Amino acid sequence: TQLLEQSPQFLSIQEGENLTVYCNSSSVFSSLQWYRQEPGEGPVLLVTVVTGGEVKKLKRLTFQFGDARKDSSLHITAAQPGDTGLYLCAGETETGFQKLVFGTGTRLLVSP
């Protein structure tokens, strides 16, 4: 069974702080995606990383895929209350996004 472990499980910070969320597995994935999910809604895709060592930036969010394609990180700079939500990583088990393996999730709360 392929598992994706995320850490921390819960993070409560003040507006303006920086944070990093980690997503780790013993399995190799062909690509890895990061989602954000708000209460009562489905996950929304933030980014997809494909190449080992790849770094992608989305405004204040920086995503990195590990060299061995087993792990990934999400770094948020100067967090804002609007960043509050559940962050999920998901690995593509085989080419074509046919079946995603989701991580355990990191719940982020950013207070003003």
Partner 1 sequence: GAGVSQTPSNKVTEKGKYVELRCDPISGHTALYWYRQSLGQGPEFLIYFQGTGAADDSGLPNDRFFAVRPEGSVSTLKIQRTERGDSAVYLCASSAGTGGNEQFFGPGTRLTVL
Task: Tell whether residue 109 is a contact of partner 1 (CB under 8 A).
Answer: no
Is 98 an interacting residue with respect to partner 1 (CB under 8 A)?
yes
Which of residues 21, 76, 79, 100 is near partner 1 by CB under 8 A?
100
**Residue among 19, 22, 73, 101 that touches partner 1 (CB under 8 A):** 101
The residue within the footprint of partner 1, chosen from 43, 54, 76, 108 (CB under 8 A), is 43
Tokens 């933030």 belong to residue: 46
Q: Which residue type, as a one-letter code, is found at position 73? A: S
In which residue are the tokens 């394609």 written?
69
Task: Label residue 56 left, alpha or beta by phi (over 0 means left) and psi (-120 to 50 means alpha).
Answer: beta
42 lies in the binding site for partner 1 (CB under 8 A): yes
Q: Does 44 bind partner 1 (CB under 8 A)?
A: yes
Establish if 105 lies at the interface with partner 1 (CB under 8 A). yes
Q: In Å, what is the CA distance from 56 to each residue of 2, 20, 28, 35, 90?
A: 24, 14, 19, 14, 16
Q: Does 68 bind partner 1 (CB under 8 A)?
A: no
